[in-house]
Chain A
């Protein structure tokens, strides 16, 4: 620690702190334009000039000067104020004074400083810039005339997002922030640059001119897309969510967001939202009152309960809050007496609820998000980890680039993560992950690299015996990797002091189930890399509350039917009443035809959703529910943080929160009536061991991370091999970067960037087929065929094609059947 004096105040800070950090910790504000706490110091704007007594008469930038013992710093002498005024005058020389039409006004650092330093006149004269404004993309407007050259956009895009869309181009007075070849912006559109821009040079187009910054009501809540659990500040006006507001002090990610989080909020106030309950009359859904619709549902559930509760089933989305999921489970288990409940097609949470639960004794990851940056070696399963959880992808970027984390990726295709410094991507044959992990374990056992603690764990002998046939040389061909690569990877993993495995799971990844989770956990156990800082396996649930749903055991626990069983039951007639909450199985579950047939066959279908989804259109009763912005509650992130969701707006139309609907049904079907969320949360805390000690009002601002006690055991993971046939291509499904589930289809931002499905194939394969980008292709499997646009890329290996699963038109699930790989033929 270093002691110094700033403006007469004694400050003690760590020795790697800068004067700016030290002043900030002492509550002294130093004005600055080019600094963000996530970024490396830049020293570009010269606003933070201070005087240090030891360096007589010189003005030095506070943001780039490290502190030294005994430093005496003054931040506000008349000379400094003069110098800052000069800087502002020079900036205002070129900056257009168009505050009345600039969206940044009110939240503009330059405007605030000009006001604070009373720069009313300018000693200099010059012409303004005449740069062309970039209106080419629908999300980010770039007006380089307003730019103050702080370089924050270029730095955040490079340092954190690792895309590098911007750079300073040209020299001297001509210098500006430019894109490649000074063309239109074409990037991931995460909007990080917009969030850090201190002026209005970069503005969000969906929010352009919608409201003034000061008139927005800012509500802190949690993003409702993926499982990362990013905190979000919603800008609300007149009961409408108009934008997301950047707050660099929010969450583990310091306010960093991806496209969906930042630009995908429009679904909340979408015109397509359901506003009234609908009841099917004469084959047509007609508007009804809540009493009528809910009465009908209540009646049918009560009737079904009397006949036999096993004929009732429920499918729920893990996008609901913990309290709602708990009530849903109570409604079915206690109110109706049925155990037929599930979410995410059954397999998408298998890795947690079966894999981790059996191996470790709890259905959660044996690691947390902070481990990503503290580990030495990161083993990522599939480059898709970036697409499924973009903000965790940013954490990987930071770990690799700042903390020197070694990145190893095993994937069936390359991806953005492969481009990180020193990253090694091992491309294997699709769906051979389990075999590959078993082979890695085999190498570690054979070479004596295993941790001494491993052999004493239960199940060790069985596990080693099961590895018998997994020697690298034996499985190399099946994995599509060389034996040397497998051995090298195993050695790297075993020899790393700390190593973390990241495993994304989700509806689009049928292969990432119980077996793969257990194979990864086995590997971590074998090398003793679990239960320590920077070690473990991070199983990343797909949806915002996938982890909560797993914790609350929203799946059959007493022999009930799982999702596939329920759909099978609907088709065969054993399930007569199906209650679907927020799920859209028609699009997101494999084998669309089968799902549609099952939903058509079921006698009474209730769908509770925000939108008239493909599933809702088949329903007998549709209940309008509330989005995350309209309710209070808690979500649990993939990193095991239980976080508060806060109500930002009143429910749209007649919509009611899922909590209210379940509570009403549950209380009339013989259960308790809960008075409020804190009562339900208290009950959850008493039932779910990991939540004990938490209270609804006592949750930490940044989320309370629950701790888990490892009860590890080895469970051999079984490989079910798949053989390719010649002339046939392997189709792997996945998540597109800008989408999450089917919810993002109602967000404008994601739909601007990625409006429709596509099939991505290798350029060699494309040449053979004679197709180019955007040409239609027919993809045919044993289940069916779809027509999709081609996307030619370098990242796919030959013979493997990729398609995102989110889209309704020509949905890829029309031709899948729930296997990790679908074998398809592709023709023009």
Chain B
């Protein structure tokens, strides 16, 4: 009657001294695969965001989480005056990256997106710029 219980505890005890199978997060950090779809980043080139504000990402976004507003700079060129992604709505499908005609957007390995306030989940352009 008691034997199965002892056998079970034995296995438990044995595993306590074995090398763990799972990743010991947060002490150990995972290396996400290169095609992992985490937090977005706006690529930078010549110290400016590459984004030309073509509005294709908000158009293609199935979750309607991207808000873009274009502006005209001194040379009459188009740039993203406002670029926001609401991470609470984002479904990380990666369509935005796929749609981008100038390769200005990528999805990073960043996956720790928890936060305390709803507002903090809205990533504005400065937060999205590639570091």
Chain A residues with CB under 8 Å of chain B are 99-101, 105, 133, 135, 141, 208-212, 214-215
5 closest Cβ contacts across the A-B interface?
A100-B54, A209-B70, A101-B78, A212-B55, A100-B101
What are 28 A-B residue pairs whose CB atoms fall within 8 Å in the complex? A99-B54, A99-B101, A100-B52, A100-B54, A100-B78, A100-B101, A101-B52, A101-B53, A101-B54, A101-B77, A101-B78, A105-B54, A133-B76, A135-B76, A141-B76, A208-B72, A209-B53, A209-B70, A209-B71, A209-B72, A210-B70, A211-B55, A212-B54, A212-B55, A212-B59, A214-B59, A215-B55, A215-B58
Residues of B within 8 A of A105 (CB): 54
How many Å lie between the Cα of A99 and that of B55 in the bound state? 11
As a 0/1 sequence over residues 64 to 104 of chain B, the CB contacts with chain A under 8 angstroms (1 = contact) are 00000011100011100000000000000000000001100
How many Å lie between the Cα of A215 and that of B57 in the bound state? 12
How many Å lie between the Cα of A99 and that of B99 in the bound state? 13
How many Å lie between the Cα of A105 and that of B55 in the bound state? 11
The answer to whether A209 and B59 touch across the interface, beta carbons within 8 angstroms, is no
Question: B56 contacts the other chain (Cβ, under 8 Å)?
Answer: yes
The answer to whether A100 and B102 touch across the interface, beta carbons within 8 angstroms, is yes
Closest Cβ–Cβ distance, residue B56 to chain A (whole Å) = 7
Q: Which residues in window 36-54 of B have CB below 8 A to A?
A: 52-54
Residues of B within 8 A of A99 (CB): 54, 101
Closest to B72 in A: A209
Residues of B within 8 A of A211 (CB): 55
Closest Cβ–Cβ distance, residue B6 to chain A (whole Å) = 69
Residues of A within 8 A of B52 (CB): 100-101
Residues of B within 8 A of A209 (CB): 53, 70-72, 78
Residues of A within 8 A of B70 (CB): 209-210
Residues of A within 8 A of B59 (CB): 212, 214-215
Size category of the binding interface on chain B: 10 to 19
Most chain-B Cβ atoms within 10 A of its Cβ — which of A101, A133, A210, A211?
A: A101
How many Å lie between the Cα of A215 and that of B55 in the bound state? 9
How many Å lie between the Cα of A1 and that of B71 in the bound state? 54
How many Å lie between the Cα of A210 and that of B70 in the bound state? 6
Closest to A212 in B: B55
Closest to B56 in A: A100
Closest Cβ–Cβ distance, residue A180 to chain B (whole Å) = 23
Closest to A211 in B: B55
Closest Cβ–Cβ distance, residue A394 to chain B (whole Å) = 31
Closest Cβ–Cβ distance, residue A324 to chain B (whole Å) = 35
Closest Cβ–Cβ distance, residue A60 to chain B (whole Å) = 37
Residues of A within 8 A of B101 (CB): 99-100
Closest Cβ–Cβ distance, residue B97 to chain A (whole Å) = 15
Closest to A105 in B: B54
How many Å lie between the Cα of A480 and that of B101 in the bound state? 68
Residues of A within 8 A of B55 (CB): 211-212, 215
How many Å lie between the Cα of A210 and that of B78 in the bound state? 10
Closest Cβ–Cβ distance, residue B11 to chain A (whole Å) = 60
Closest Cβ–Cβ distance, residue A383 to chain B (whole Å) = 37
Residues of B within 8 A of A133 (CB): 76
How many Å lie between the Cα of A127 and that of B111 in the bound state? 45
Residues of B within 8 A of A210 (CB): 70
Residues of B within 8 A of A214 (CB): 59
Closest to A133 in B: B76
Residues of B within 8 A of A101 (CB): 52-54, 77-78
Closest to A98 in B: B52
Closest Cβ–Cβ distance, residue A256 to chain B (whole Å) = 28
Q: Which residues in window 1-54 of B have CB below 8 A to A?
A: 52-54
Closest Cβ–Cβ distance, residue B127 to chain A (whole Å) = 23
For the A-B complex with A133-B76, A141-B76, A215-B59 known, give 7 more contacts whose Cβ atoms are closer than 8 Å. A99-B101, A100-B78, A209-B70, A209-B71, A209-B78, A212-B55, A215-B55
How many Å lie between the Cα of A215 and that of B101 in the bound state? 18
How many Å lie between the Cα of A344 and that of B71 in the bound state? 41
How many Å lie between the Cα of A99 and that of B77 in the bound state? 13
Closest Cβ–Cβ distance, residue B43 to chain A (whole Å) = 14
Closest Cβ–Cβ distance, residue B82 to chain A (whole Å) = 12
Closest Cβ–Cβ distance, residue B35 to chain A (whole Å) = 24
Residues of B within 8 A of A100 (CB): 52, 54, 56, 78, 101-102
How many Å lie between the Cα of A208 and that of B81 in the bound state? 14
How many Å lie between the Cα of A209 and that of B52 in the bound state? 10
Most chain-A Cβ atoms within 10 A of its Cβ — which of B53, B76, B102?
A: B76
Closest to B58 in A: A215
Closest Cβ–Cβ distance, residue A143 to chain B (whole Å) = 9
Residues of B within 8 A of A208 (CB): 72
